[in-house]
Structure 1
Amino acid sequence: MDEFLTEMSEILEDDVTMSDALGQFESWDSLASLSVMAMADSRFGVRLVPQELNPAMTLDQLYALILAKKAS
């Protein structure tokens, strides 16, 4: 989880916690979404598509999505 938080902090250009809402960050946009997809692939071996990111409202939900995809 620490690696995820570090990566998300870089992507969102801010300090983050797992309970943070993605929409609260000014930098959460389509480019950030692409960066998350690239990070999930390179760091966790998980391929995500944009539609899978839409339901994730918090960093915790996003991390749970990555873990669920990794487990499948």
Structure 2
Amino acid sequence: MEKYLSTITEFLEVDSVDLNDSLTSFESWDSMTILMVIDFCAGEYGISLSADEIENSETILGLKELIDSKL
């Protein structure tokens, strides 16, 4: 979880995140950030995610749960 939160915080260009934060509430949440998440998940976890799956996850926790469901 530590690596995940650290990476998401970096991708979102903020100092910290809360698991309940909405992904769309971040100014830097865009298609490029989604691509970075896809690349991170492929490299770090060896899983494949679609942009739609990521967008439907809605929150930081929802995204983590999506990743966990693919492991």
Same structural fold, with TM-score higher than 0.5 when normalized by the shorter chain: yes
Identity level (%): 34
Is structure 2 residue 3 aligned with structure 1 residue 3?
A: yes
For normalisation by structure 1, the TM-score amounts to 0.91
Structure 1 stretches of 4+ with a deviation exceeding 2 A read none
Letter in 2 for 1:58: T
TM-score under structure 2 length normalisation: 0.92
Partners of 1:51 and 1:28 in 2: CA distance: 14
1:5-55 per-residue CA deviation (whole Å, 9 max, x = no partner) reads 000011000121211110110000000000010111111111111121121
Unaligned runs of 5+ in 1: none
Structure 2: give runs of 5+ residues left out of the alignment: none
In the alignment, the residues of structure 2 paired with residue 51 and residue 24 of structure 1 have an alpha-carbon distance, to the nearest angstrom, of 17
